Structure 1
Amino acid sequence: MSDNVGLPEAVSMALGGMVGGGIFAVLGVVAGATGTLAWAAFVVAGVLALCAGYSLLRLNSLCDSPRTPVGYVQRFTGNTTLSGVVGWTFVFGYVGTMAMYAYAFGGYFTELTGVSTVDLTGLVGVSTVGSFALQPVISVLVIAVFVGLNIFGAHASGRAEDVLVGLKVAILLVFGVGGVSYGATHGGLEFGLGNVGVGPLVAAGISFVAFEGWELLLFDQESIEDPRETVRTAVYVSIVGATGLYILVALVTTNLAGTQAIQQHAETALAIAARPFLGQAGFVLISVAALFSTGSAINATLFSSARLSKNLVIDDLLPSRLRDEEADEPIRPLLTLGVLAAGFALVGSLDAISSFASLAFISIFGGLCFLALQERENLLSTAIPTLGTVGAGASVVALLWHLFDAERGTFWTVLVLAVVVIGVELLYFEREPLEREVRSVERRIENEV
């Protein structure tokens, strides 16, 4: 982020962080779970994001100087381990979002080029080699490209981001408004109100990752003009704007693409929905926009999460081996995050990746809503953080139950990932007591011998 960022740039960066890749990557999964009621999932997720935004901004205002969300936990609980766990969970959440963006990038690339597999037999002349899927390879390669660009210090300025975000939003608005007009004149649009139940709450949990991005402003307040006021306005404007855009796009996609097409091609649902009223040109336009958006989202998330990791290393909340003493760019964090995201994109499914990333962020934001609620005497409203806390908890439970009931394989994948992440975090932050206990046991054994 450039120095002296004003309100327009702050809004662009917050909105770009959300719209940049989330809607292209996650909408198909949400629509597959709720059908034409997908728009309602984004309403629920948007409300929860606003509750989280209010809670984080109130915590920020209670600090003597602007702090990061990780700093809020340290400031208001005094628990270094807990703040470290929150920091790690942010990092793993960003790894999940980068993997999701890369997965979607690979999907749009193969759909646009029409090449989904590569036959090695013709290349090397050995019949036993066979072929391989191109999509995961493209996903890994695009992450590698942006890791390289960030190592060499390449990133967009605030003013450039204004233009880029404006272009992406404009394309989605054309898609949304054009799709609504087309649907209204060809039999009307179905809102799915007859299927209201726990579906929107489940899908809100899945879609929550699409609202990740606004909180990055809170991690970089030192480079923003009048940070408290600018960040506050930018957070609210961007969340409301993203919610409205998501509702419009979800309504068009679920009505024009069809349930079967969405389930078969979840990662490219928007491009498929553009065909009925924009033809093949619309498919190409949305696909190109998706490639650009998911690519820039990988770059922005990698840039921000690497710097977050660097700060966590400085605060001794990440291993010191990730520290770059002489490098201007956080090379070791960049490489580590890139390898993790590439591995996740290579072996994970879109459902598993998006569910894991959503669970990470909704857990963090729900926890920070609860933290804000503990400072109730300093809040203008306790109803908002209460709604955020309860809603986040309900979404997590509903999502896990849905995965267990309908997608058992994805459920176990997400559960194993969560257990591994939490286990690694606790082992790191409790390493000193564990080391003391191990040395104590070793001494007892030596004395007995």
Structure 2
Amino acid sequence: MSTTVPKRMTVIQATFIGVGSMVGAGIFALLGAAGAVAGSAVWLSFLIAGVIAALQGYSFAKLGATYPSGGGMLAYLARGFGEGHVTGIFSWLFYVTGAIVAAMVASSFGGYASAVVAHDSPTAATLFAVALVLVMSLLNVVGSTAVARVQSAIVKVVLAILGVFAIVTIANWDPALLDPAGYPGVREIIASVALTFFAFLGFGVITFTAKDLPQPSRQLPRAMYLALAIATTVYVAVSLGVFGTLTADQVVAYGATALAEAAKPTLGQLGYVLMVITALFSTAGAVNASLYPSTGMTQHLAEVGQFPPVFGRTLSRWKASIGLLVMAGLTVIMVLALDLNSIASLGSAVALLIFSAVTTAHFRVHRETGAKLFMLVIALIATLGTFVVFCTTTLVNEPKTTFALLVILALALIADLLWKRTRTRREREIPTS
């Protein structure tokens, strides 16, 4: 008689995987860039980005409740487009981009760790980044229960520190710095939304927790909405605290250390230390959450024929998923070989395309999911609109990112065509009885 391993992930743990993926290095890196565009209205940019993410979250939650799968959003794509080239290309895109985002966040962790213990040594930063990827990969090999527990602990620490930061800075802010009379025009605020939306990209990871939730049809939507609510509240509160303490020019000048500088007037050196700890925990959690989907996703894609069968296998001795090991290997290679700062916007651009494709697929099955058509239309317009604004305001000024985006799109297309051709040839070679 066979026994099955019970699914043990809770709604809160699934929520924290999403929050951990969202509240990573983004909040530290984005404030300066967004402040250069939207000035002290950045809190409004985060709020609008949160609304757009919530619209997309509505679509994902409806799909997840109807079609819970370890394949997450990629399984939703197949529901609308079938297991053809469209789903295959976006699957390769998601997989490779996941490694890029993990590498970017790991590099950020390395930078913070090096600044604390190695006097900003580039070599030490790289070693710390690679070590983090290896540790989090090992954690994912242990299993989803271990991932959920560690992620919950990390997110609790991050939210506690950011909560203290927000309360202290807002309690001592200068309201004049947030006077709407000093806000830029609507166009600038909308343009900054394309930047702040980057901080919400991780919510899609929650769709991959369906395989570990006891009742995914009810629990996945709850986790989705709760994670987005927490992330939006944190981002708005933190940006109000920072821009209510520092001028927009100061925030832009301080860049990634703006949070630490905003904490100094009331918390002194303790504020700086708290922000460094937060950065280390945030980036560690984001790498953990970025690697988490790779196991269930690649096993699902191998089963349906979108990926080669090897991606669905595990190394029996260590019970390590090949899909996870390949993802970790790609991440380490990118940390070692690429200038990730020059393609920092790549993950945002590809994610917006993938989200738009998932919502487009949702139109074909909305009667089955019970989703309201007008909500899907608004979600698609908002997401595609953000992508267009992103291209016209950010990518035009980042030729390396534009080139990298085109290369990634081409590689995804080539990978899908080659694998599908190989699969078809193998199927023809199998003798029929």
Please give the range of the TM-score, normalised by the shorter of the 2 chains: 0.7 to 0.9
Contact 2:65/2:216, CA 8 A, preserved across alignment: no
**2: CA distance, partners of 1:362 / 1:252:** 28
Q: How many residue pairs were aligned?
A: 418
**1: CA distance, partners of 2:284 / 2:198:** 16
Structure 1 partner of 2:305: 316
CA distances 1:63-97 after superposition (whole Å, capped 9, x unpaired): 49897321222122224221222222222332232
Structure 1 partner of 2:77: 73
**2: CA distance, partners of 1:434 / 1:163:** 45
Matched, 1:59 2:46: no
CA distances 1:130-182 after superposition (whole Å, capped 9, x unpaired): xx565445334432443355456697354554443222111111111111112
CA distances 1:6-55 after superposition (whole Å, capped 9, x unpaired): 33333333323322444244444333443322222212221111111111
Structure 2 partner of 1:289: 278
Structure 1 residues 15 and 351: alpha-carbon distance in aligned structure 2, compared to 1, 3 A threshold = same
Contact 2:32/2:253, CA 8 A, preserved across alignment: no
Q: What code does the residue aligned with 2:236 have?
A: I
Q: What code does the residue aligned with 1:49 have?
A: A
Shift, 1:309, TM fit: 2.8
Structure 1 partner of 2:372: 381
**1: CA distance, partners of 2:107 / 2:34:** 16
Structure 1 residues 237 and 67: alpha-carbon distance in aligned structure 2, compared to 1, 3 A threshold = same
**2: CA distance, partners of 1:200 / 1:427:** 38
Percent identical residues: 24
- Equivalent residues in 2 for 1:49-448 (5 A)? 49-63=53-67, 68-113=72-117, 115-117=119-121, 134-151=124-141, 156=146, 158-159=148-149, 161-184=151-174, 189-190=178-179, 194-260=183-249, 262-322=251-311, 324-327=313-316, 328-330=318-320, 332-346=322-336, 347-350=338-341, 352-353=343-344, 355-375=345-365, 377=367, 379-405=370-396, 407=397, 411-431=398-418
- Is the radius of gyration larger for structure 1 or structure 2? 1
Structure 1 residues 144 and 375: alpha-carbon distance in aligned structure 2, compared to 1, 3 A threshold = closer
Q: What code does the residue aligned with 2:166 have?
A: G
Q: TM-score, normalised by structure 2?
A: 0.84
Q: What code does the residue aligned with 2:341 have?
A: L
**2: CA distance, partners of 1:427 / 1:158:** 35
**What SS class does the counterpart of residue 173 from structure 2 fall into?**
helix
**2: CA distance, partners of 1:37 / 1:137:** 38
Structure 1 residues without counterparts, runs of 5 or longer: 118-131, 437-449
CA distances 1:293-329 after superposition (whole Å, capped 9, x unpaired): 2112212321332442343234332344545454354
**The 10-residue stretch of structure 1 (189-198 or 213-222) with the greater mean CA deviation from structure 2:** 189-198
Shift, 1:188, TM fit: 5.1
Structure 2 partner of 1:120: none
CA RMSD, 1 decimal: 3.3
CA distances 1:337-361 after superposition (whole Å, capped 9, x unpaired): 23433344453343622x1111122
Contact 1:32/1:266, CA 8 A, preserved across alignment: no
**What SS class does the counterpart of residue 316 from structure 1 fall into?**
coil
Q: TM-score, normalised by structure 1?
A: 0.81
Q: What code does the residue aligned with 1:164 have?
A: I
Shift, 1:282, TM fit: 0.7
**What SS class does the counterpart of residue 186 from structure 2 fall into?**
coil
Structure 1 residues 141 and 380: alpha-carbon distance in aligned structure 2, compared to 1, 3 A threshold = closer
Contact 1:205/1:359, CA 8 A, preserved across alignment: no
Structure 2 partner of 1:123: none
Structure 2 partner of 1:445: none
Q: What code does the residue aligned with 1:364 have?
A: I
**1: CA distance, partners of 2:142 / 2:68:** 36
Equivalent position to 1:4, from 4, 8, 19: 8
**1: CA distance, partners of 2:363 / 2:402:** 28
Q: What code does the residue aligned with 2:82 have?
A: G
Contact 2:308/2:419, CA 8 A, preserved across alignment: no
Structure 1 residues 413 and 192: alpha-carbon distance in aligned structure 2, compared to 1, 3 A threshold = farther
Q: What code does the residue aligned with 2:14 have?
A: A
**2: CA distance, partners of 1:235 / 1:154:** 18
Structure 1 partner of 2:49: 45
**What SS class does the counterpart of residue 195 from structure 1 fall into?**
coil
**2: CA distance, partners of 1:92 / 1:265:** 32
Contact 2:343/2:404, CA 8 A, preserved across alignment: no
**2: CA distance, partners of 1:272 / 1:181:** 16
Structure 1 residues 135 and 230: alpha-carbon distance in aligned structure 2, compared to 1, 3 A threshold = same
**1: CA distance, partners of 2:77 / 2:63:** 9
Shift, 1:243, TM fit: 0.7
CA distances 1:99-153 after superposition (whole Å, capped 9, x unpaired): 2312321332244347124xxxxxxxxxxxxxx5654453344324433554566
Q: What code does the residue aligned with 2:418 have?
A: R
Contact 1:24/1:294, CA 8 A, preserved across alignment: no
**2: CA distance, partners of 1:96 / 1:221:** 24
